[in-house]
Chain A
Amino acid sequence: MEKDDASLDRLAALEGMGCARKRREDPRFIQGKGTYIDDIKMPGMLFGVMVRSPYAHARVKTIDKSRALAHPGVHAVLTADDLKPLKLHWMPTLAGDVQAVLADEKVCFQNQEVAFVVADDRYVAADAAELVEVEYEELPVVVDALAALAPDAPVIREDIRDKQTGAHGARHHPNHIFTWNVGDKDKTDRVFDSADVTVTQHMWYPRVHPCPLETCGCVASFDKVRGDLTVYLTSQAPHVVRTVVGLLSAIPESKIRVVSPDIGGGFGNKVGVYPGYVTAIVASIVLGRPVKWIESRTENLSSTAFARDYHMTGELAADRDGRIKALRVHVTADHGAFDACADPTKWPAGMFHVCTGSYAIPNAFVSVDGVYTNKFPGGVAYRCSFRVTEAVYLIERMVDVLAQKLGIDKAEIRLRNFIRKEQFPYSTPLGLEYDSGDYEPALRKVLAAVDYPALRAEQAARRADPDAEWLMGIGVVNFTEVVGAGPSKACDILGVGMFDSCEIRVHPDGSAIARMGTKSQGQAHETTYAQIIASEAGIPASVITVEEGDTSTAPYGLGTYGSRSTPVAGAAIARASRKIREKARQIAAHLLEASPNDVEFDLDRFVLKGSPEQFKTVKEVAWAAYNNVPEGMEMGLEAVDYYDPPNFTFPFGAYVCVLEVNRYTGETQVRRFYALDDCGTRINPMIIEGQIHGGLTEGFAVAMGQQMPYDEAGNLLGATLLDYFLPTAVETPHWETDFTVTPSPHHPIGAKGVAESPHVGSIPCFTAAMVDAFAHLGVTHMDMPHSAYRVWQQCRALGLARQ
């Protein structure tokens, strides 16, 4: 027993996998000692401000910058004409399109970047930006994505008007970006033609914005003497940014240092390159001084990567028992004026083809048309895992629609269609291979936890009472995520395979430094990555320093988005740790004068088999690595791993939401939200819980209030926190969380990604609960956001509200 206690103490001292290790990041953040972009101050640093378009679509006739240039404290005013000689008035996007850096002949969305004013400080720059005079000639505007391909629709992209082929195949209209098909159309059509039951539902997943609390920004510093460029910026993928900057500037990557310091939340907003970064870099090169650019909230909400904007039509074919035979989907995707949608190169609609969901659907066909509109670019952001939000919303809504048509309970129909545990790895008709899953116990656990039958009974009683002021809705969602992009054969970012990396160096005293190619924006990589190393290599997490974000020191990686850090970098970390462990074992054997085969790893030491009193600790071995290694072995103790994943990971979850809806006001109260997530092996349950709380809160915001409406003139309405709904602690529901553990068989530690699951899964759960409140009145779907006004309109249409 005493030995067990000692082992437990050693286990606890490691603070490794599975424990609720407190965060290494917290001490600096709770004392105001984080280093975020706008905290950076450099000698001679200037400040840049954008001049932006007031129009959604207009020709730029003239730009007069003379008054701005004459303003004291102003150093430069850049326009497209200044960028043209450098071929930087347009920049490439991750989607294979181009985006205007500064508007050349025309502007294509409101608040588009037109000129960049550089001055002594932000106050002077703001004054001078007011003095730049731009003359516009207004053009007709396209805001309705469903009308963008009309024959007489105004042409948004004159720069590529006659280009018959885009980055993703043929274009058949000037506002058409791509058509992407996946699945067997003929077979799917045949199943629909002969099915017992078919249902169809149109739904819009509205345009929303990730709105990280810290906006985007950078400090660019070109050193004219050394000829090198240092850029601090809010990037989730700093190595990719370095490569892009290298391509654009013709400066070799070895002379570019991109640093992502502490980032105040990313949520997918900080993946791509924005015009502000490019203009700050150009201004710094021109002026030979550091230039800082920090956007405002309005600029952030109106010009950086939005999320969603999918107009979807779903169809299901099924038998009378609700067993699904086929899925057919068409999407019109509103990408705004430039296709800057962050995706692996070959996937213009991301991983939308995970839309067969958690169900064994034998046939499916999906078609997505991307269109240009006079809006700001984006699409993939906000915990979407590359369009998985849309995919899960589509299938979960459709299953509800089918259940309603057949009069089958919404939980029951899911249980009937689940992919069963023994079917994994499961190949979907749309080409994915799910790694593992055990859906039924997860759903049953959730249904039991909320006492689902009692909820349905209560709902039936409520429905029977014609005077009930509050309607009751129950949402049930079962989702399958796809995260961890991805296998290099299928996934690349601008040609770079989507591997990730880790480099660990153990110092003589047994402490270590480890760097990865990802970049945390609050997900606590500094804490959790060390836990993986602690368990795999026996080095206490407390003496492991984890760093990310500096391209001059960290190994090349693809960054953090798509919940890929644990699946990809997490795997590289485990494998690099194992390389260290193996070398350490050989050194330990040498020290113990034993054969390596007789020495085994035990938590934090190497023990001679059969003689537990004979051992060398990892700390002792680390010292020996620098002075006494076996003959012929290289000194030192370090390892690198670049991990090209064999597959994605497919975490899943079962969520239930209970809503109360006031029929007279449309006001909604979340009575209960129960979220079960299964992300395989859990590295740090405290951190996972925090990710879930945050994601569910985003889901609540998206489903219940967030939107970015445009008027007919292309004015974006509500791009400030005056209207854009960010819940406070008061609105945010209390969350109940739960889990099961179904490890990923192909992942070195069985861990799957999870951080986007709560956002992906909760949104259709809120809609499901909302629609369910009206289901007995024949309502099959309601478009988000389910704000009080919109819900009241529904009540009114059904004669529920007071007239």
Chain B
Amino acid sequence: MSQKIMVSFKLNGKETDVVVESRELLIHTLREKCLHTGPHIGCETSHCGACTVDFDGMSVKSCTMLTVQAEGAEVLTVEGLAGLGGGGDLHALQEAFMQEHGLQCGFCTPGMLMRAYRLLQENPDPSEEEIRYWMAGNLCRCTGYQNIVKAVQYAARKLRGEAVETSHPLMADTH
């Protein structure tokens, strides 16, 4: 058994202390010690991005980071997203994914949301091409991405204070 280390970081705004082996991956610490099971694991080669969290203002694949590297960091996970607009309201992105049907099984969703959250701060008015490229670290098996792109566009408009409308009105004419 290797030696254990105490690591302190801020998780969704809350001071958090964990005791880990130096080899422990951040994703496992978040999921198993902090019980934040929103971030998921979809691969072991750092491709899928299901584990994406926001780490000191960066989108980071938490399966490819050691927890000991998080000392002093500010980490945001999907669980902390709803509060970020102030209050407990859903973040514009969460609303957007729901309105635009940007998720199905929901497994990639927490990583997608956290990546899109950072993307829209880096680029508040992205083109479709930019959204597709900047979200390319996140794999989805269900949606074919098209509605995810729409969801990011919806959220971008909302965050810019523009009027938003879902592409899937409830009672639209179905021919």
Contact = CB atoms under 8 A, between A and B. Distances in A.
Given A19-B170, A30-B98, A729 B131 contact: yes
Q: How large is the interface on A (under 10, 10 to 19, 20 to 34, 35 or more residues)?
A: 35 or more
A346 B174 CA distance: 39
A213 interface: yes
Contacts of A31: 38, 78-79, 81-82, 90, 94
Interface of B: 1, 21, 23-24, 28, 31-32, 35-45, 47-48, 50, 77-79, 81-82, 90, 94, 97-99, 101, 103-110, 113, 131-133, 135-149, 168-172, 174-175
Given A18-B174, A213-B108, A730-B133, A693 B146 contact: yes
Interface stretch (A248-256, A274-282, A557-565, A680-688): A680-688
Chain B contact surface mostly: loop
Interface stretch (A156-164, A320-328, A734-742): A734-742
Interface in A670-700: 682, 685-687, 689-690, 692-698
A296 interface: yes
Interface string A769-782: 00000000000000
B109 A123 contact: no
21 contacts: A22-B99, A29-B106, A30-B113, A32-B36, A41-B32, A73-B1, A123-B23, A123-B24, A213-B42, A213-B141, A214-B105, A265-B104, A265-B141, A522-B142, A685-B168, A685-B172, A690-B104, A696-B144, A720-B45, A721-B45, A729-B136
A48 interface: no
Given A32-B78, A697-B144, A732-B145, A687 B107 contact: no
B169 to A, nearest CB: 6
A690 B143 contact: yes
Interface centre among B21, B94, B145, B172 (most CB of A within 10 A): B145
A36 B107 contact: yes
B171 A213 contact: no
Interface centre among B21, B31, B79, B107 (most CB of A within 10 A): B107
A204 interface: no
A22 B98 CA distance: 7
A19 B168 CA distance: 9
- Give 10 nearest A-B pairs by CB, closest first: A32-B38, A29-B106, A264-B107, A522-B105, A693-B144, A522-B104, A697-B144, A39-B37, A32-B78, A721-B47
A692 B145 CA distance: 11
Contact of A213 (B48, B81, B175): B48
Interface of A: 8, 11-12, 15, 18-23, 25-34, 36, 38-39, 41, 72-73, 121-123, 211-215, 262-265, 267, 296-298, 521-524, 682, 685-687, 689-690, 692-698, 720-722, 726, 728-730, 732, 734-735, 739, 741
Contacts of B146: 693, 732, 734-735
Contacts of B148: 729
Nearest to B77: A32
A137 to B, nearest CB: 30
Contacts of A722: 45, 47
Contacts of A29: 103, 106, 109
